[in-house]
Structure 1
């Protein structure tokens, strides 16, 4: 007779226990949420030959992000890290200087939020110049609609023909788009990344 997965005492075998989730009882995590309200979380996309510890030491320096002594960086492993700030002003100062680069190495940096996704954060914010729109169609609405096809548009500069957009760099970027206006006119526009050196997939 084969042995049952349970012994006579009713206890489950180790193999059964491995398949079961550990149930965590309810608890109050409001203090934790408050603790991380001034936290930015970052994620690198290419870690070969580069040190997270060097990035954490280098980025707060004066002349780079100018928050030295008022922020603490922690390596979370697997290319992820976070910065804890003393003030909202310093946190916003760093966010406004995106996209973030270190030694020709671009990384995502976003405000922390409760998130279970392994690929968070995966978006990078940068300026994109849009070429090919006829001058008589250079309006904010046109640039924003084209930017929306890339990701979340944070700002538009119609004088320069560019948009500040947050894109998911884990997805291919299509660098040519067709744009059609309400009178039927259609043009093909090309998108040019400005001050962005990360290696990302593109589709012509």
Structure 2
């Protein structure tokens, strides 16, 4: 009587990862060259990133924004992959005009847009410039200096508006937004203030990320479908903007 022997994958030498193939190869060094002309070619370039790739396609953004900006013949765009894109302008004044109108959105989700820089830092782009107002400051401390002190930790302050008591700040759009901050007054009292991000569209009402909504928030339990915390001013304004957009759309169709 003969007994058959079934060889394991290891014995056959099959399905066993080749460790030599898994080892990371050394980086390929590219030749040095003068890149000054290439840098000059991209001085009027914006690099963009969608915040929610499941809802925003870069090519659709590239097709839409030049029309929205009314710059169809003065800007060219192209998709750079699954979540990034670029626009090249023909005139500095057009680029500066668009920079002054940040932030932008597409399909009600925010877009990250930054002027191109010859840097290697990752990830780039990542910043969104928001006009920010602060609610909850006592009137006798309600100054532009106070607003600057509260917002300067969020990112670089790019502009100030004393008439509307707001500052324009570049915040990291890949990280959850800060909606409230504890503030220590000169009297040593601690108060909580609320930050309002102008033109903010859809975002997670639970963790305040720009990359998903609360229905897909990884910080919520699978059986929890809605954030339970009270709506802040940004969430209330976002819902109002979405409702206003829907109303305008319905009126155009009727």
TM-score by length of 2: 0.67
**Structure that is richer in strand per residue:** 1
Cα distance change of structure 1 residues 23 and 174 upon mapping to structure 2, 3 Å threshold: closer
| 1:97 and 2:72 correspond | no
Deviations 1:89-145 (A, max 9, x none): 011111111101112121111110123344211111112221111111121110001
Cα distance change of structure 1 residues 78 and 16 upon mapping to structure 2, 3 Å threshold: closer
What do you get for the CA RMSD once the two structures are aligned? Answer: 2.4
**1:2-21 superposed matches below 5 A:** 19-21=25-27
**1:1-204 superposed matches below 5 A:** 19-61=25-67, 64-199=68-203, 201-202=207-208
Q: Which residue of 2 aligns with 1:7?
A: none
- 8 Å contact kept, 1:40–1:109: yes
What SS is found at the alignment partner of 1:174? Answer: coil
Matched residues, number: 189
Cα distance change of structure 1 residues 164 and 17 upon mapping to structure 2, 3 Å threshold: closer
What SS is found at the alignment partner of 1:59? Answer: helix
What is the distance in 2 between the residues matched to 1:178 and 1:20?
48
**Which moved further from structure 2: 158-167 or 93-102?**
158-167
- 8 Å contact kept, 2:148–2:167: yes
**Structure that is richer in helix per residue:** 2
Q: Which structure's CA Rg is the greater one?
A: 2
What is the distance in 1 between the residues matched to 2:77 and 2:56?
16
Pick 1 or 2: higher relative contact order, CA cutoff 8 A, min separation 6: 1
What is the distance in 1 between the residues matched to 2:58 and 2:21?
38
- 8 Å contact kept, 2:50–2:56: no
Extract unaligned runs of 5+ from structure 2. 1-19, 210-228, 230-254
Cα distance change of structure 1 residues 49 and 182 upon mapping to structure 2, 3 Å threshold: closer
TM-score by length of 1: 0.82
Extract unaligned runs of 5+ from structure 1. 1-13
Residue 17 of structure 1 and its aligned partner are, at CA, apart by: 10
What SS is found at the alignment partner of 2:48? Answer: strand
